[in-house]
Structure formats: structure tokens, C-alpha cells
């Protein structure tokens, strides 16, 4: 390997690399994004260290140079302050650059141009995020509810004492002759660099404990990138939560920073803050003067009104107490009248009741007598009617009945006798023997006895036989028995 080696001098190698880069990249311009890690300025030239990282691990690193010639061109376009703000460590920047290789200095990125919009965009994006967060936490308007004192005398001043903004504020504040009895407590902080935010936060917290009317935060201008520290969420939170009203005087031209949004009031410059404080005092004094006059006027008027009301009340007292007594007097008279009327009415009513009672009495007495008279009359009539009735009854029933009874009984008796008599007559007729004799029958007797009734022998006896015309006497020769029944027949 050693025999075959072709040995080049470093110059040859580097010359060869230079040629290669020149050929390969030549005049071509590249747009590259990178984070500025370090910036060194020397003789108008800027030497930057650029890097790229992913997940906090550096993935690329290069040195870059911004020659003073190019710097001036860029500065004309972007503005000196802004350019300084952009070219600061930690900023992401979009560079236009050429790649060069120098045999002595090696690979160099030669910055030709910068697009500030890229950097601003990042800041703006961050700012919007913080604003949203504040709004969500309802911190945006918290300070607005605090009342600003009419006269701001004690000021807690937060800022960098050496800066022009700080000086401007003090000059403006104390240049005024009308009022200059301010008490200022300064809380010095750095307003740029990495320590700026924590210092500001602790200063605001400290100032809030101080016996001051307001907290004033000053920053006398700076690039957009510089002012980005005032977009910090923690700082905004601290400001919003402050018990004292916070006034901001952060010099800027266009956009407001987040600190402005959460503060009680914001002003474009530190001078404007001082001017406002003065204006407030002046206008207050004016108002107070005016008020004083009005108060005196009012007071006088009030007194006269009161006097009037008062006299009025005094008159009312007289009037109403008089009216009241009068009222009661009338009331009384009324009572008295009512007593008389009612009492008299009772007496009259009683008299009427009495009259009624007397009338009733007389009526009842007369009625009683009348009733009794009627009763006596009725009684007499009853006696008459009953006596006559008794007689009539006697007549109708007793006497007539008796006669009827006598008549009917006697007639009845006669009839009964007649019947008995007729019976005897009939019997007599039946028993009369003449009738039988006339019909041809005969009666035979022996010594006066019916022959049928004679006991013993009949033969030889003398028999008398009676006919209707003769009485025959004969002697019985023989007797012959017939049937027993026939024997009884005559």
C-alpha cells in the first residue's frame, strides 16, 4: 500500500476540494433553516455557529459567516435593530447562503440574505398560543377590574436602570412642576437575555408586596425578537395575578406584547406612562376644584332645602296635632250624640214594649172574659139540648117501645090462645062419635064398656050396639076370634 500510495500535499488536497466544491456547488444559492447557536462580531463581520436538532439531539452543526458587506445589505432591508434581534442565539432563522471551501479556513457557509418573516412567524405563533392559554385561564381581563387610584404617588418601577427608557420615564415624571412628590421604588431587572424572564417575574411578585399605587414595567424599545420575552406565559400570569394594577411602557411600534394585554393599561413608551400619570393627577385636581365649588353650592342649597322641609315639618306638627285634637273632639261629639240617641232609643223601645204588653194584657183579659161568657152560653145550650134530647129519647124509645111491646105481646097471646082453642076444637071434632056412626060404624058396649075392652067370656052377656039411628040391645051367642089387628078395628 505504501508503494502504491500517491502522496498529495495538503495544499493539493484542499485545492482539489476547493475545485470540487466550486464545481459542484459553484455560484448556487441554498435556503437553509437553522438555529443560531453563537454569534461573534469582529470588524463588522459576523461569525455564527448554526445547528439543527431533533428531539434535543443535535443533528447538524456548521459555522457561517456574514460578511459586513452582506450585513449592510440585509440591514437596509430588515432594519438594524430587527437584524440584531434575529441574529441572536436560540432564534430559528431562514438563511440564504452559498457553500464555499477555503483551503486554509475549510468549509464555510457564506450568508447572503435572511428572511425575517420566518423568525417572526415563530414568535407570533408562540404568542398566539400563550394568549389562548391565558384566555382559557381567564387571566386576560383580570387586571382590568382593579381600580386605578386617582392620584398615583407611590410607584413600583420595574426596568433596567441604565436603559434609555428608564431615564426617559424618570425625566418625564420629575420634569413636571405641578406635582413631583412621587415615591419610587425601583426593582432593577435585565430586560434581555435568558435571565430577563425570571427576573421580571420575581420583580413583579416582589413589587406587589410593596406599598405602592401601581407597578410600572418599562422597556425602552427593542427588536421584535427582543420583545418576545414579554410574551412569556409565566410572566403574563404573574402580571395578571398582581394585586396592584400594572402599567406597561414597552417601546414598540406595532404589535402589542402579551404583557400589554394582561396589564391594567399599556402605553407605547415609558415616557407615555409618565405622561399619563401626570395627566391623571392634573385632571383629578381640576375635577376636585370643580367638585369643591359644587359641594359648597350643594351644601348651601341642601341647607336651605332642609330648612324649608323642616319649617314645613314644624308647621305640619302644629297642623296635624291641631287636626288630631279637632278630629277627636268631633269623634267625641259623635259619641256623646250616639249615647243620647241610643239611650233615648232604648227608653222609647221599652215604652213601646210596655205599651204592647199592656195591649196584650187588655186583649187577653177581654178574651178570657169573652171565652168564659161563650163557655157559659155554650154550657146552657148544652144543657137545653141534652135535656130536650133526653125527653125525646124517652118519648121515642121508652114509651113507644112499651106500647109496641104491649100491643105485640097481647096480640101474640091472643093468637096463641086462639091456636090452643082451635086445637081443642079440632080434637073435639075428631073425638065426636056421631061422625063415625054417620059413616056406618057402630059402637058396641057391655055394661057401658067397649066390647073390645071387656075381659072374660062374652057369651051370654048383653051387648048394646049404637048406630046412627038406633040403639040395639042383643045377647051374645058366640064369639069368634079374628086377627088381633082386625080385633082393634071398629
Partner 1 sequence: MEINDKLTYEEAMQRLKEIVGELERKEVKIDVLSSTVSEAKSLVEFCREKLDSTEDDIKKIIDPEAEGQT
Q: Grid coordinates representing 450?
A: 067397649
As a whole number of angstroms, the distance between CA 462 and CA 473 comes to 7
Contact call for residues 21 and 101 (beta carbons, < 8 A): yes
Among candidates 274, 275, 266, 264, which has minimal Cα distance to 241?
Answer: 264
CB of 402 to partner 1, least distance (A): 5
137 or 414, CB closer to partner 1? Answer: 414
Contact call for residues 230 and 258 (beta carbons, < 8 A): yes
75 or 465, CB closer to partner 1? Answer: 465
80 or 340, CB closer to partner 1? Answer: 340
Rg, C-alpha atoms of the chain:
87
CB of 218 to partner 1, least distance (A): 42
414-to-400, 410, 425 alpha-carbon distances in Å: 21, 6, 16
Relative orientation angle of helices 116-136 and 233-241, to the nearest 10 degrees: 40
72 or 395, CB closer to partner 1? Answer: 395
Burial 428-461 (b: 16+ CB within 10 A, else e): eeeeeeeeeeeeeeeebbbeeeebeeeeeeeeee
CB of 374 to partner 1, least distance (A): 10
Q: Grid coordinates representing 348?
A: 222609647
Owner of C-alpha cell 062419635: 433
107 or 403, CB closer to partner 1? Answer: 403
Q: Grid coordinates representing 275?
A: 405622561
CB of 479 to partner 1, least distance (A): 21
CB of 285 to partner 1, least distance (A): 18
150 or 399, CB closer to partner 1? Answer: 399
104 or 428, CB closer to partner 1? Answer: 428
Strands (E), 257-347: 265-267
As a whole number of angstroms, the distance between CA 421 and CA 385 comes to 52
CB of 378 to partner 1, least distance (A): 9
Q: With 0-12 CB in 10 A as exposed, 13-18 as middle and 19+ as buried, what is 326?
A: exposed
65 or 445, CB closer to partner 1? Answer: 445
CB of 344 to partner 1, least distance (A): 7
210 or 332, CB closer to partner 1? Answer: 332
CB of 454 to partner 1, least distance (A): 13
As a whole number of angstroms, the distance between CA 337 and CA 392 comes to 80
Q: With 0-12 CB in 10 A as exposed, 13-18 as middle and 19+ as buried, what is 261?
A: buried
CB of 419 to partner 1, least distance (A): 10
Amino acid at each position: 500500500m505504501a508503494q502504491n500510495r500517491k502522496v498529495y500535499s495538503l495544499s493539493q488536497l484542499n485545492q482539489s476540494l476547493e475545485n470540487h466544491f466550486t464545481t459542484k456547488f459553484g455560484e448556487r444559492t441554498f435556503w437553509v433553516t437553522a438555529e443560531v447557536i453563537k454569534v461573534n462580531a469582529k470588524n463588522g463581520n459576523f461569525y455564527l455557529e448554526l445547528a439543527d436538532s431533533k428531539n434535543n439531539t443535535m443533528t447538524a452543526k456548521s459555522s457561517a459567516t456574514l460578511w459586513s458587506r452582506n450585513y449592510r445589505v440585509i440591514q437596509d432591508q430588515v432594519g438594524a435593530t430587527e437584524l440584531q434581534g434575529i441574529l441572536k442565539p436560540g432564534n430559528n432563522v431562514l438563511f440564504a447562503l452559498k457553500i464555499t471551501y477555503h483551503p486554509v479556513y475549510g468549509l464555510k457557509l457564506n450568508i447572503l440574505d435572511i428572511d425575517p418573516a420566518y423568525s417572526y412567524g415563530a414568535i407570533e405563533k408562540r404568542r398566539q398560543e400563550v394568549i389562548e392559554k391565558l384566555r382559557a385561564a381567564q387571566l386576560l381581563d383580570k387586571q382590568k377590574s382593579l381600580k386605578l387610584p386617582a392620584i398615583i404617588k407611590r410607584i413600583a418601577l420595574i426596568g433596567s436602570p441604565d436603559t434609555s427608557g428608564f431615564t426617559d420615564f424618570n425625566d418625564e415624571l420629575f420634569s413636571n412642576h405641578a406635582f413631583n412628590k412621587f415615591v419610587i421604588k425601583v426593582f432593577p431587572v435585565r430586560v434581555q437575555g435568558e435571565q430577563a424572564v425570571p427576573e421580571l417575574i420575581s420583580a413583579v411578585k416582589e413589587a406587589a408586596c410593596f406599598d405602592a399605587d401601581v407597578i410600572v414595567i418599562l422597556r425602552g424599545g427593542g427588536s421584535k425578537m427582543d420583545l418576545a420575552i414579554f410574551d412569556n406565559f409565566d410572566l403574563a400570569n404573574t402580571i395578571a395575578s398582581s394585586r396592584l394594577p400594572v402599567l406597561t411602557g414597552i417601546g414598540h411600534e406595532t404589535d402589542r406584547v402579551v404583557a400589554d394585554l394582561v396589564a391594567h393599561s399599556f402605553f407605547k413608551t415609558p415616557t407615555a406612562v409618565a405622561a399619563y400619570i401626570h395627566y391623571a393627577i392634573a385632571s383629578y385636581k381640576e375635577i376636585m376644584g370643580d367638585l369643591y365649588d359644587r359641594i359648597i353650592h350643594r351644601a348651601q342649597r341642601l341647607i336651605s332645602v332642609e330648612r324649608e322641609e323642616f319649617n314645613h315639618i314644624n308647621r305640619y306638627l302644629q297642623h296635624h296635632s291641631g287636626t288630631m285634637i279637632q278630629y277627636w273632639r268631633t269623634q267625641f261629639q259623635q259619641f256623646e250624640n250616639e249615647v243620647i240617641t241610643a239611650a233615648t232609643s232604648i227608653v222609647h223601645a221599652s215604652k213601646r214594649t210596655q205599651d204592647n204588653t199592656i195591649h196584650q194584657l187588655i186583649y187577653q183579659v177581654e178574651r178570657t172574659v169573652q171565652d168564659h161568657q161563650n163557655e157559659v152560653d155554650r154550657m146552657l145550650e148544652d144543657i137545653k139540648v141534652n135535656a130536650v134530647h133526653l125527653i125525646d129519647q124517652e118519648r121515642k124509645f121508652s114509651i113507644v117501645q112499651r106500647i109496641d111491646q104491649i100491643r105485640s105481646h097481647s096480640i101474640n097471646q091472643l093468637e096463641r090462645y086462639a091456636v090452643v082453642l082451635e086445637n081443642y076444637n079440632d080434637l073435639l071434632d075428631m073425638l065426636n062419635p056421631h061422625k063415625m056412626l054417620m059413616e056406618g060404624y057402630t059402637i058396641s058396649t057391655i055394661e057401658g064398656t067397649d066390647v073390645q075392652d071387656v075381659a072374660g067370656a062374652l057369651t051370654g052377656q048383653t051387648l048394646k050396639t049404637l048406630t046412627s039411628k038406633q040403639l040395639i040391645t042383643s045377647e051374645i051367642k058366640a064369639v069368634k076370634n079374628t086377627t088381633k089387628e082386625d080385633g082393634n078395628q071398629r
